[in-house]
Structure 1
Amino acid sequence: MNKSELIEKIAADAGISKAEARRALDAFTKAVTESLQEGDQVTLVGFGTFSAKKRSARTGRNPQTGEIIEIAATKVPSFKAGNKLKNLVDDDGHG
């Protein structure tokens, strides 16, 4: 599902226009992004938690030249699914 399809689904399920659904989705993604940038996490009980995790510096390899390179430490966004979401996605319902 891409963003346009998600907007259509939100609009249909919530009984709102696509324009309203787009604004709501954009506001949600902006709020999550800003929270992560500030070092906070966003927890939606039953759905999951968005957070920013630290990735340590490490060595890597340039795939074109094979040269060993140093990769700097960075923060990366992370999502951990909640139990309810895990169970709903589980095919046999026994997650």
Structure 2
Amino acid sequence: MHDLGPNALYCGHGPELTEDPGAVLEYYLAHRAFREHQLLAVLGRGPAGVDALVAEIYAEVPRAVWPAAAQSTRATLDKLLAEGRVEETGDDTVRLA
């Protein structure tokens, strides 16, 4: 999407973003990469489930946001699973592949 040079972004929530949409996309991509790095760092210490990952990575975020953080974490883990970077252990946890 970034390469298409959009004039606006219409997100699922919030206002239409028309001021420098490319910068917004770059921020989102960098933020997702940062969360991936955090997940991989925690998993480098051993297998963990979504709840444990959220509790550690989002410790400074209000707990009311944790359900959304869990959904985001699951989505990121699905991406990492598809890439072969993590693997399921069979007990609702994942570990580095």
Name the one with the larger helix percent.
2
Q: Which TM-score band applies after superposition, normalised by the shorter structure?
A: 0.3 to 0.5
The structure having more radius of gyration, on CA atoms, is: 1
What TM-score do the two structures reach when normalised by structure 2?
A: 0.35
Higher RCO structure (Cα 8 Å, ≥6 apart):
2
Name the one with the larger strand percent.
1
